Amino acid sequence: MASPSTPQPDKFTEVLRENQELRDALAQLQEKSNQQAALATTFSEQLQQFLYAASHDLQEPLRGIITYAQLLDRQFAADPANHEYTAFILTGALRMRDLLQQLLVYSRAGIAKQRKVINLNVPLQMALLKLAPEIRDSGVRIIRDSLPEAIGDENEISQVFQHILNNSLKYQRSEATPEITITAEQGSGECTISLRDNGVGIDPRFCEQVLLPFKRLHGPEVPGSGLGLAICQKIVFAHQGRIRIESDGSHGTAVSFTLPI
């Protein structure tokens, strides 16, 4: 006679069947998840290829428009009315060329696969060298900590520093000596790099929106494509990091991003 604590055969069989059904359901969910992830990766790659092809191929006919607009502009330089029209065409074509070039950069942002442990002072210095003329002309004071090591691609992280610094240089305070403070904080499995300026700031309502492509809060008097911070976000996300913008709207802006260590 079976012990009371011993499951009956039919009960034991039912438990095994339920466990097997649960394992099968989990396996199906995992398979669907893998399929969706693969589909998302394929879609992302196709979108990147489309952006690259569109931004690259459109530059050739645009070069022709710019060339002939310049010829017409010189031909009608003595005629104020016609000169105004050709100058308008040329300005628009040059603006479109700059946007296409930035779109080309955006399409390739974050695609580097050979990431390794890097000293973050190196990509920061690369960005500072590229922006040396703007830094010199603005008279900005750069206050920086010694940055730690992190996992990433030097060239891509240099782009992140360059775009954030360039934004800070554009939106300075006229009544105060411009300053940009660069700090780093190490946490569990990641480090956070922050760049804080004393510029005009951003309305808190738009701190997330400025990370979107082509989102600009200022008119044509401030140059830019509206893709700089979007490129930063694309690169940081590709590095499994996060990016955040904080501002009270009048006392500067802080941009921080995380990288794995």
Per-residue pLDDT of the chain (261 residues; tens, 9 = 90+): 455 555 556 776 776 677 777 777 777 777 776 666 665 556 556 666 666 666 677 777 888 888 888 888 888 777 777 778 888 888 888 888 888 877 777 877 777 777 899 999 999 999 999 999 999 988 899 999 899 999 999 999 999 999 999 988 887 766 778 899 999 999 889 999 999 998 888 878 877 878 887 666 655 555 556 788 889 999 999 999 999 999 887 788 999 999 998
Residue of 164, 147, 155, 162 lying closest to 239 (CA atoms): 155
The residue extents of the domains of the chain are 58-108, 116-260
- What's the pLDDT at 6? 55
Neighbours of 179 (CB within 10 A): 17
CB 181, CB 195: distance < 8 Å? yes
Angle between helical axes of 80-108 and 9-57 (0-180°, round to 10): 150
Q: Are 226 and 166 in contact (CB under 8 A)?
A: no
Residue 212 CA to residue 208 CA, distance in Å, equals 8
pTM of the model: 0.68
Neighbours of 100 (CB within 10 A): 18
Q: Does domain 116-260 have CATH number 3.30.565.10?
A: yes
In this structure, what token pair is assigned to residue 115?
Answer: 């990431």
Residues ≥6 apart with Cβ < 8 Å to 218 = 171, 224
